[in-house]
Structure 1
Amino acid sequence: MSQTAAQVNHKVQAFLDDLKGKTIDHVFFVACGGSSAIMYPSKYVFDREAKAISSDLYSSNEFIQRNPVQLGENTLVILCSHSGNTPETVKAAGFARKKGALTIAMTFEPDSPLAKEAEYVAVYDWGENAQAINTNYGVLYQIVFGALHVLENHLAFEQAIDGLNKLQAVYDKALKQEADHAKAFAKAHEKEDIIYTMASGANYGVAYSYSICILMEMQWIHSHAIHAGEYFHGPFEIIDESVPFIILLGLDETRPLEERALSFSKRYGKKLTVLDAETYDFSGIDDSVKGYLAPLVLNRVLRSYADELAEARNHPLSQRRYMWKVEY
């Protein structure tokens, strides 16, 4: 076993071993909410790196209802649900298998319905003590870069796994660097009724997740995730000195979109929180994968901002009005 293989989740490695010799021409990423948001960077990876494999990202229920014509025996479906109980995602796994697709599910709960419904399952770690390579983002990248390596002999697999293995050090330094900024953000925004998020490319899923899962779901603050490339096609009309924005700058090819949006926002807005991946220390990580790993760091930093905001607002991130409490 190579050193790289030894660092890969053993369930992912078993999946990759069985993937050898199979023909896959399309990949579907299928999930809901935050589990869907973590898949945006992986979709970006396939768009940039896959030579003969196309990909799509679907919300679980629409995946079933839309019933993509490409779904079949030469399809890989990657699904995720933290609890493994998300009804739409469990149903999507069964739907994909009936169509003959190969399925691998990610979850924190190894005995969950989703784990039992998918052909393969990879369990990730969760919580403050989870190492970056073993989190949901880390395990998903192991699947994605591993599949590209097996199916297309893609050469970035070792660089990606090595980068994931070094990513915890990046997290730790970035969190220390941003600690005071996170507290200042919380104090400045504790009474805001609306906060927008903006990003592009591999980072858009992070903005989307922070908008719908943190601000709307967990803090009951009105929000919307704006794609930096769409900013000048309507949304920029909303900015003035009173409107708060969180703007993310990554390290991938779409960074110029984010920089352009930031430049305009600085002219007319004052409540801007900017997280720039260029300010974090990616020492030792290969340049070829830094753009793909940047969203993971931005996401981890933003979680610390969420913790501070929840504390300042006296509104725990676990508090809900409807989710898991009423029928829906």
Structure 2
Amino acid sequence: MTVSTLPLKPIDADLSQKLQDTIDQRAAIVEVVAELAERGLKNVYFVGAGGSIICSYPAHYVLQARSSVPAFQVQSDELNCQVPRLMGEGSLVVLASYTGKTKETVQAAKTAKSTGATVIAVAKEGSPLAEAVDVAFKGKSDLFELLVAYAVLEASGELTDAAGLDAAVAALPKALYSAVEQSEQRLADIAEAYKDAPFTYVLGSGPSYNWAYGFAMCFLQEMQWKQAAGFNSGEFFQGAFELVDQDSAVLLWLGEDASRPMGERARSFLETYAPKHQVVDVKTLDLPGVPESLRPDISPLVIDALANRLSQHYESVRGHDLETRRYMFKVEY
């Protein structure tokens, strides 16, 4: 049988520039958050749908761990259906949309503004979402929202390693590009090994759970039409692991944050019962210029870059274009 393939796209030459464009807005992000803090910052909500809420996990994780300011995640349409009682004046609502046109997210911005909250977003200039919020920024969603989280810590006097943060932010564009280059053969091998798998499990914990859920749903289901499911590495042991056998395709994202023991527990199980499993471990990557103390915060952004690149390897070896859709953007839903 002839297998259709597509040429492998080059590593995103704009990856570093996209990151730098986001970093260049750091001062403006700090200013918006500081102004709200002076008036009384009560809580932070990260709002989005699909990839956009997926990208908020690193920021939410940082604030939950270190901030006295309560932080929440809400799916866009969940917000439209029921507004949280605590959202209102003093709330910072942070939204994201790759296109800036996701209808439920645009409506969520309007819903949030109606409560008196300060609403900001990362969205394309001139898009409906950019027009609906108080302040619009451009750039990569996960880094933008992480910079918002750091700005909240700074405004509340809880940023403990300002020098380390400055160094990590400055190093990030080259470090992430380097991580993708360093992982290129590993990602190619995973795509080749799993291209025909009838079902793929994807695991991750802490802020890296986002790309367990996201890689399964957005990249494999949506963009490759492959059966897949993403699980928290801990929740995996509450049922899903009963279906794993010697032939199971299981991909584990392993970060460097506080939840790493959960991932290592999953790896130990997979080494015994799922010989075809694959692990992508951020700890094995160099990340030049990123201080050791900031690697836990940065690791989910590394996984984001690797997940995107892995999807391009799937596209190549399976011959299924990542832009092909059956329903999305084509029918009413």
TM-score under structure 1 length normalisation: 0.90
Q: Give ranges in structure 1 of 5+ residues lacking alignment.
A: 1-5, 125-134
Provide the C-alpha distance between the structure 2 equivalents of 1:231 and 1:21, rounded to a whole number of angstroms: 43
Q: In the alignment, what sits opposite 2:6?
A: none
Amino acid in the other structure paired with 1:115: A
Provide the C-alpha distance between the structure 1 equivalents of 2:229 and 2:250, rounded to a whole number of angstroms: 10
Cα distance, 1:13 vs structure 2:
4.4
Q: In the alignment, what sits opposite 2:94?
A: 78
Q: In the alignment, what sits opposite 1:159?
A: 164
Q: In the alignment, what sits opposite 1:117?
A: 132
Q: 1:28 touches 1:57 (CA, 8 Å); kept in 2? A: yes
TM alignment of 1:25-40, pairs within 5 A: 25-40=42-57
Seq. identity, %:
30
Q: 1:11 touches 1:121 (CA, 8 Å); kept in 2? A: no
2:321 aligned counterpart, secondary structure:
coil
TM alignment of 1:1-328, pairs within 5 A: 7-9=24-26, 11-51=28-68, 53-107=69-123, 109-124=124-139, 135-328=140-333
Q: 1:71 touches 1:96 (CA, 8 Å); kept in 2? A: yes
Amino acid in the other structure paired with 2:133: A
Q: In the alignment, what sits opposite 2:7?
A: none
Provide the C-alpha distance between the structure 1 equivalents of 2:93 and 2:161, rounded to a whole number of angstroms: 22
Q: 1:146 touches 1:157 (CA, 8 Å); kept in 2? A: no
Backbone CA RMSD of aligned residues: 1.7
Cα distance, 1:286 vs structure 2:
2.6
2:145 aligned counterpart, secondary structure:
helix
Cα distance, 1:164 vs structure 2:
2.4
Give per-residue Cα distances to partners, 1:211-261, cap 9 Å, x unaligned.
111001000111111101112111110111111011011111110011001
Q: 2:167 touches 2:289 (CA, 8 Å); kept in 1? A: no
Cα distance, 1:18 vs structure 2:
2.9
Provide the C-alpha distance between the structure 2 equivalents of 1:161 and 1:81, rounded to a whole number of angstroms: 26
Provide the C-alpha distance between the structure 2 equivalents of 1:164 and 1:155, rounded to a whole number of angstroms: 15
Q: 2:224 touches 2:320 (CA, 8 Å); kept in 1? A: yes
1:159 aligned counterpart, secondary structure:
helix
Q: 1:19 touches 1:147 (CA, 8 Å); kept in 2? A: no
> May I ask how many residue pairs the two structures share in their alignment?
311
Amino acid in the other structure paired with 1:112: S
Q: 1:37 touches 1:206 (CA, 8 Å); kept in 2? A: yes
Provide the C-alpha distance between the structure 2 equivalents of 1:279 and 1:88, rounded to a whole number of angstroms: 39
Provide the C-alpha distance between the structure 1 equivalents of 2:275 and 2:103, rounded to a whole number of angstroms: 42
Cα distance, 1:153 vs structure 2:
4.6
Provide the C-alpha distance between the structure 2 equivalents of 1:20 and 1:261, rounded to a whole number of angstroms: 41
Deviates more, 1:86-95 or 1:276-285: 276-285
Deviates more, 1:214-223 or 1:284-293: 284-293
Cα distance, 1:144 vs structure 2:
1.5
Provide the C-alpha distance between the structure 1 equivalents of 2:312 and 2:166, rounded to a whole number of angstroms: 29
Q: Structure with the greater relative contact order (CA < 8 A, sep ≥ 6): 1 or 2?
A: 2
2:242 aligned counterpart, secondary structure:
helix
Q: 1:142 touches 1:161 (CA, 8 Å); kept in 2? A: no
Relative to 1, partners in 2 of residues 1:283 and 1:183: Cα closer, same or farther, differing over 3 Å?
A: closer
Provide the C-alpha distance between the structure 2 equivalents of 1:233 and 1:20, rounded to a whole number of angstroms: 41
2:125 aligned counterpart, secondary structure:
coil
Deviates more, 1:66-75 or 1:186-195: 186-195
Cα distance, 1:194 vs structure 2:
1.5
